[in-house]
Structure 1
Amino acid sequence: MTRYVLGRIGFMVVTLFIIATLTFFLMQTLPGSPFNNEDKLSDTQKERLYAKYGLDQPVPVQYVKYLGAMLKGDFGESYQSDGRPVTRMITERIGPSAYIGGQAMLFGTFLGLILGIMSALRHNTFADYGVMIFAVVGTSIPSFVFAAMLQLYFGVYLEILPVALWNSDASIFQWEYLKYTILPSLALAVGVIAGIARFMRTEMLEVLGQDYIVTAHAKGLSKGTVIVKHSIRNALIPIITIAGPTTLAIMTGSLVIEKIFAVPGLGRLFVDSIVTNDYTVIMGLTMFYSALFILVILIVDLLYGVIDPRIRIAGGKN
């Protein structure tokens, strides 16, 4: 196991190096510069800014300095935020993104599992068809469409939840904070619910058709015992494998959702930095998202090996 973990960590480092290199040189090929939109700046002032941030140096020199600073956890300074450190900007924005992302993941996983199990137990009934229709719609329609629908219904028609904005002054346990997180979390959770429900239904149907389930019924075990202790328990193991894609879906969905609901999170920061050509912020967030996703994949692989002994034994032999 130790050898496997070290190998995956090494693979993670190489992957992040490749991503950092590609991101840096892609930024160099983009048209314009971070200061092109500053019409009030004279050419002399722009030259001073270029010199201040090292943009007047050759690209290979910039690349070496960028990698050296990144290894120290320094992603440079923002070009559009008065030279604020990018690392500090990211840490300040993690809270709102983690809050709505965590809510979406927890609520989506819980409801998705329930719908998937119900659909499998009521196979080929109206309940099953209803869940499958929802799963197809939920995975086909982008999250920003659901966001607009939620805003219109709960914010405009019913007027029970705010359409947008954020209250950073209130505690995360107070309603004055929570009410601003409900709609964006629900918008992100729809796709999670649909994906997990469809996956859980497939796994449950496969488990219910196994010989050991038939044997359990033949031994006289109650239907509830067979479902809870044998069917659901074994069907839940493969669910771990979709934690990575689900996390990626939430991260990419937050880019639009946070902008729509005016959430001061990482997704909104990413979109704003792209609009303003804030290269250092774009590269810093790209590395942050990449590292987070690769770390989630690593944790999922390790958990899968721990939960399912067959995977661990096979890995040991290999």
Structure 2
Amino acid sequence: MVRYVLGRIGFMVVTLFIIATLTFFLMQTLPGSPFNNEDKLTDTQKARLYAKYGLDDPIPVQYVKYLGEMLRGDFGESYQSDGRPVTRMITERIGPSAFIGGQAMAIGTFLGLLLGIIAALRHNTYADYGVMVFAVVGTSIPSFVFAAVLQLYFGVYLEILPVALWNSEAQIFEWAYLKYTVLPSVALAVGVIAGIARFMRTEMLEVLGQDYIITAHAKGLSKGTVVIKHSIRNALIPVITIAGPMTLGIMTGSLVIEKIFAVPGLGRLFVDSIVTNDYTVIMGLTMFYSALFVAVILIVDLLYGVIDPRIRLAGGKS
């Protein structure tokens, strides 16, 4: 196990190095300028700005500096936010994204697994058909459409919940804070519910047809024992495969949802940085997302062995 984990960490480091290299050189090819109204600046002002951010150095020198600073956890300073450190901007924005994403994944995973199990156990019944219709609709319709519908009915017509904005001054578990998180969390959770329900139903149906399930019934085990201990546990493995990256994508911020609900999260920061050509913020967020993604993939692989001990992680050795 230790050897496997160390090997995977080595691959993670190589992967992040390749991503960092590609990101840096792709930023060099983007059109435009990271500075506002650069065409109106004098040559002296341009020279001062380029010297301040190290843009007057040759590209190989900038690349080496970029890697060195990144290894120290420093992604540079924002060109558009008066030189604010990118690392600080990320840490300030990750809270709202993680909270909304965590709520969405908790709701989506619970309801998705429940609906998928019910659909599989009630195969070819109205319950099964209803779950599949919901899964198709939830997967096909973008989350921003659900967001607009939720804003219209719950925010405008019923006036139960705020349409948008964010209350960062309230305590995290107070209703003054939570009420701003309900609609964006539900909008994100719809896709999660649909995706997990569809996968769980498919895997449960496959597992229920296996020989060891028939043998378990033949031994006299109760239906509940067979479903909980044998069927659900084995059906969870493919579901975890999609749930890991899905969790990361949602918790680190949905670009459109955060923009719609005016949530000061990472998704909104990413969109704004792309619009303004804020290169350091784009590179910092890209590396942050990439690091989390490869870490989640490792955790998912380790969870395979936890759920099913028959899976060997280190070349067939336990």
* TM-score bracket for this pair, using the shorter chain length: over 0.9
Distance 1:278 1:14, change over 3 A: same
Residue 223 in structure 1 maps to residue 234 in structure 2: no
Deviations 1:51-80 (A, max 9, x none): 111112211111111111111111001111
Of 26-35 and 209-218, the range deviating more from structure 2: 209-218
Residue 24 in structure 1 maps to residue 63 in structure 2: no
Deviations 1:72-103 (A, max 9, x none): 11100111111111111111111101101111
Determine the structure 2 residue equivalent to 1:106.
106
Tell me if structure 2 keeps the 8 A contact 1:247–1:293: no
Q: Tell me by how many angstroms 1:313 deviates.
A: 6.5
Determine the structure 2 residue equivalent to 1:201.
201
Partner SS state of residue 15, structure 1: helix
Determine the structure 2 residue equivalent to 1:123.
123
Determine the structure 2 residue equivalent to 1:171.
171
Q: What residue identity is the alignment partner of 1:13?
A: V
Determine the structure 2 residue equivalent to 1:13.
13
Q: How far apart in 2 are the matches of 1:16 and 1:37? A: 34
Partner SS state of residue 179, structure 2: helix
Partner SS state of residue 96, structure 1: helix
Partner SS state of residue 133, structure 2: helix
Matches for 1:87-98 after TM superposition, within 5 Å: 87-98=87-98
Tell me if structure 1 keeps the 8 A contact 2:253–2:265: no
Q: Unmatched 5+ residue regions in structure 1?
A: none
Determine the structure 2 residue equivalent to 1:71.
71
Tell me if structure 2 keeps the 8 A contact 1:16–1:291: yes
Partner SS state of residue 93, structure 2: helix
Q: How far apart in 2 are the matches of 1:205 and 1:227? A: 11
Determine the structure 2 residue equivalent to 1:286.
286
Q: How far apart in 1 are the matches of 2:227 and 2:148? A: 39
Q: How far apart in 2 are the matches of 1:149 and 1:315? A: 50
Q: How far apart in 2 are the matches of 1:37 and 1:247? A: 39
Determine the structure 2 residue equivalent to 1:62.
62
Tell me if structure 2 keeps the 8 A contact 1:306–1:312: no
How many pairs does the alignment contain? 318
Determine the structure 1 residue equivalent to 2:250.
250
Considering fraction of residues, name the structure with more helix.
Answer: 1
Q: What residue identity is the alignment partner of 1:310?
A: R
Q: Tell me by how many angstroms 1:125 deviates.
A: 1.1
Of 213-222 and 128-137, the range deviating more from structure 2: 213-222
Q: What residue identity is the alignment partner of 1:31?
A: P
Q: Tell me by how many angstroms 1:47 deviates.
A: 2.3
Distance 1:155 1:41, change over 3 A: farther
Q: How far apart in 1 are the matches of 2:124 and 2:64? A: 60
Q: Tell me by how many angstroms 1:289 deviates.
A: 0.3
Name the % identity: 90
Q: What residue identity is the alignment partner of 1:81?
A: S
Q: How far apart in 1 are the matches of 2:253 and 2:133? A: 21
Aligned-residue RMSD, C-alpha:
1.9
Q: How far apart in 1 are the matches of 2:42 and 2:52? A: 15
Determine the structure 2 residue equivalent to 1:53.
53
Q: How far apart in 1 are the matches of 2:149 and 2:43? A: 47
Q: Tell me by how many angstroms 1:248 deviates.
A: 4.8
TM-score relative to the length of structure 1: 0.94
Q: How far apart in 2 are the matches of 1:147 and 1:38? A: 38
Q: How far apart in 1 are the matches of 2:173 and 2:300? A: 29
Q: Tell me by how many angstroms 1:310 deviates.
A: 2.0
Q: How far apart in 1 are the matches of 2:21 and 2:99? A: 31
Q: What residue identity is the alignment partner of 2:128?
A: D
Q: What residue identity is the alignment partner of 1:265?
A: G
Q: Tell me by how many angstroms 1:215 deviates.
A: 2.6
Q: Tell me by how many angstroms 1:38 deviates.
A: 5.4
Q: How far apart in 2 are the matches of 1:287 and 1:301? A: 21
Deviations 1:226-249 (A, max 9, x none): 222332233223322222331354
Tell me if structure 1 keeps the 8 A contact 2:107–2:189: yes
Tell me if structure 2 keeps the 8 A contact 1:165–1:261: yes
Residue 134 in structure 1 maps to residue 134 in structure 2: yes
Of 107-116 and 145-154, the range deviating more from structure 2: 145-154
Tell me if structure 2 keeps the 8 A contact 1:116–1:199: yes
Distance 1:125 1:15, change over 3 A: same
Q: What residue identity is the alignment partner of 1:305?
A: G
Q: What residue identity is the alignment partner of 2:134?
A: F
